A and B are shown apart, each in its own frame.
Chain A
Amino acid sequence: MSNFILRRLLLLIPIFIGVSILSFLMMHLIPGDPARIMAGQDATYQEIQSIRVEFGLDKSLPVQYVLFMKGVMDGSLKSIKTQRPVLKEIYPRFLNTLELSLVSIVISAFLGLGFGIVAAVKHNSWLDNLVMGFSLFGISMPVFWLGILLIIVFALILGWLPAAGKGGIQHIILPSITLGMATSAIIARMTRASMLQVMNQDFIRTADAFGIPQRKIIYKYTLKNALIPVVTVIGLQFGYMLGGAVLTESVFGWPGLGRFIVDSIFARDYPVVQVGIMLIALTFVLVNLLVDITYAFLDPRIRRR
């Protein structure tokens, strides 16, 4: 098992390098001259030239990459807009997004698993239909609409929770529900389908034939087998939340990374966009590693590979 984890950790190094190269190349994959794009439409020739020199765009690509990475690390890569080191700008916002996504994914996982298990155990009953109906609702609802609806009900009419901004626990409730609604619905569906599939396996019939108590069959024998695809979905959804929280962050005025990147795209603040995307991608890779380790923990057959 520890061997497995070590191997996966070593594999991270080339992935990290690949991700950073792709984020760096983004500037050059956009059609046109990066210096000209960064300088904006009304820039003079001198301004474009000075940007070209400042960002080292006159050097060869490998040299530029090394300078870029060095700049990220030592803080010499600065936001064009604020002239502060990019990492310093991004980091607190990244933590905000991470906080929101973590709270959302934990809530969604609990709700999704709980409802999914109930639906599978009470297969084809009214309870199953109710859970599945709700989850269809949850998947179909647009994030901004749900967010605005929650603000109207809980902030404006009832006045229980703040409508926007970041502060105490009360500030994170509405955005995390908004962000997690679709995810919990997807997890519930996946859990239900996976549980039902496992319940039809021979080894569940064996457990039944040996008089194992019903609860143990569901929560131990079935669930551990059924979790594998569910863990995959949770991991993917978490990655999606990190990058896709933009809408939620906008509706609730949450000072997160998604919103910041979108703002930076409009402001042509390319260093911020590059590093922001790199950070999201790296987090996504780490989450996937966590998913893989969880697999190995759940299924002994995976450990040997």
Chain B
Amino acid sequence: MNDEVILSVRNLKIHFDTEEGEVKAIENVNYDLRKNETLGIVGETGSGKSVSAYAVMGLIPQPPGRILGGEIIFKEKDLLKVKKDEMRKIRGNEIAMIFQEPMTSLNPVFTIEEQMLDILRAHGFSKKDARLKSIEALEKVKMPDPKLVLKKYPHELSGGMRQRVMIAMALSCEPSLLIADEPTTALDVTVQAQILKLLKRMQEEYNMSVLLITHDLGVVAQNCDSIAVMYAGNIVEYGSAEQIFERGMHPYTKGLLKAIPPLEEKTEKLNVIPGVVPNLIYPPQGCRFHPRCGRATRGKCDVEIPTLEEIKDDPGHKLACFNPYGG
């Protein structure tokens, strides 16, 4: 790993206007992603993890979305201030994204070749080079018989193969940042492992930084250098995989870790975090986790908003909590 920061998200705040009211999806999100680093963003559905990734891609629909503040610095440029046309050149070229649903993410009426060539041609490759590049990318993702796959339509491929095609598409322009939004959620468990391994290998081969968004702690444990735990629009804990898994201190992180069923012993019941993710139109006062937190103190957690601060004696490990475990 290298110390050069490639992506820096600062004080990001995004709300969405809906008929019921303003959804405060992202309140205050900060993180850095270094070169060759894999950062996992973990959280439940509705925690804002995907929204923060879409913001990096410039894919927040406005309206209904409103980016109320912050900066997204990618290679010394603030992506929030970049013009639409310029952003289109960055997307797919310097930053690529793969999605959760390989079944519906490819256009059903065009061949794989047509779709791959369009991407490469949009970023300045000649037709001939684009063809060579797409075959090369398919070979890289270990696709058997790339030339045959190019002639196929998406419905003629399995889910795992489609996700490989998506990864090949993402890699074809050799991006320096890859955003993977729940890349394995829709796949069979055996295929999941293959895809994750592939992502890891590709990251090393292409010297990419990866932003891996998932709700699956198992996925982050195997793949990520750093982990950001998100809850209801905020990062509540941030650190290396070791720091989070061995020394996680936020009650929410603890809850998530406890919810993983242990393999060694028989358990009668799964551990769950009581309650549900709050309605973000009317988020709780103070710490947004306090209504579900066993350690919340009245007059403190339900009034003041904790900020994400580095823990003394544990460099790089950040926490936003007034009453952490082991604190």
Contacts and interface: CB of A to CB of B under 8 A. Distances in A.
Contact of B99 (A206, A213, A216, A300): A206
B109 A299 contact: yes
B104 interface: yes
B119 A211 contact: yes
B10 interface: no
B108 A203 contact: yes
B106 A206 contact: yes
B14 interface: no
Contacts of B9: none
Query: B104, B105, B107, B169 — which one has the most chain A CB atoms within 10 A of its CB?
Result: B107
Contacts of A216: 118, 122
A206 B98 CA distance: 8
Contacts of A221: 107, 110
B57 interface: yes
Nearest to A206: B105
B93 interface: yes
Contact of B92 (A202, A205, A210, A300): A210
A216 B170 CA distance: 19
B90 interface: yes
Given A206-B99, A209-B97, A213-B122, A224 B109 contact: yes
Contacts of A209: 57, 59, 91-92, 96-97, 99
B107 A203 contact: yes
A92 to B, nearest CB: 42
Contacts of A205: 59, 99, 105
Contacts of B57: 209
A210 B119 contact: yes
A207 interface: yes
B122 A210 contact: yes
A298 B109 contact: yes
Contacts of A211: 88-93, 119, 122-123
Interface string B64-97: 0000000000000000000000001111110011
A9 interface: no
B147 to A, nearest CB: 18
B101 to A, nearest CB: 6
Interface in B25-48: none
B155 interface: yes
Chain A interface size, as a band, is 20 to 34
Contacts of B153: 300-301
Given A201-B104, A211-B123, A213-B88, A301 B110 contact: no
A60 B166 CA distance: 67
Chain B interface size, as a band, is 20 to 34
A202 B118 contact: no
Contacts of B115: 207
A212 B122 contact: yes
Interface string A177-202: 00000000000000000000000011
Given A206-B99, A213-B88, A300 B155 contact: yes
Given A211-B90, A211-B91, A211-B122, A299 B108 contact: yes
Contact of B108 (A210, A220, A225): A225
A299 B153 CA distance: 10
Contacts of A224: 109-110
Interface in B109-139: 109-110, 115, 118-119, 122-123
A202 B59 contact: no
A211 B59 CA distance: 11
Given A209-B57, A212-B92, A225 B109 contact: yes
A120 to B, nearest CB: 15
A220 B115 CA distance: 11
A29 B211 CA distance: 73
A208 interface: yes
Contacts of B96: 209-210
Contacts of A213: 88, 122
Given A208-B59, A209-B97, A301 B155 contact: yes
A210 B101 contact: no
| Nearest 8 Cβ contacts at the A-B interface | A210-B92, A211-B92, A211-B91, A202-B104, A203-B107, A300-B153, A210-B119, A209-B97
19 contacts: A202-B99, A203-B105, A206-B99, A206-B105, A208-B59, A209-B57, A210-B122, A210-B169, A211-B90, A211-B92, A211-B123, A212-B92, A212-B118, A216-B118, A220-B118, A224-B109, A225-B108, A300-B155, A301-B153
Interface of B: 57, 59, 88-93, 96-97, 99, 101, 104-110, 115, 118-119, 122-123, 153, 155, 166, 169-170
Given A203-B107, A211-B90, A216-B122, 19 more contacts: A201-B104, A203-B104, A203-B105, A206-B106, A206-B107, A207-B118, A208-B59, A210-B122, A212-B92, A212-B122, A213-B88, A220-B118, A221-B110, A224-B109, A224-B110, A225-B109, A298-B109, A300-B153, A301-B153
Interface of A: 201-203, 205-214, 216, 220-221, 224-225, 298-301
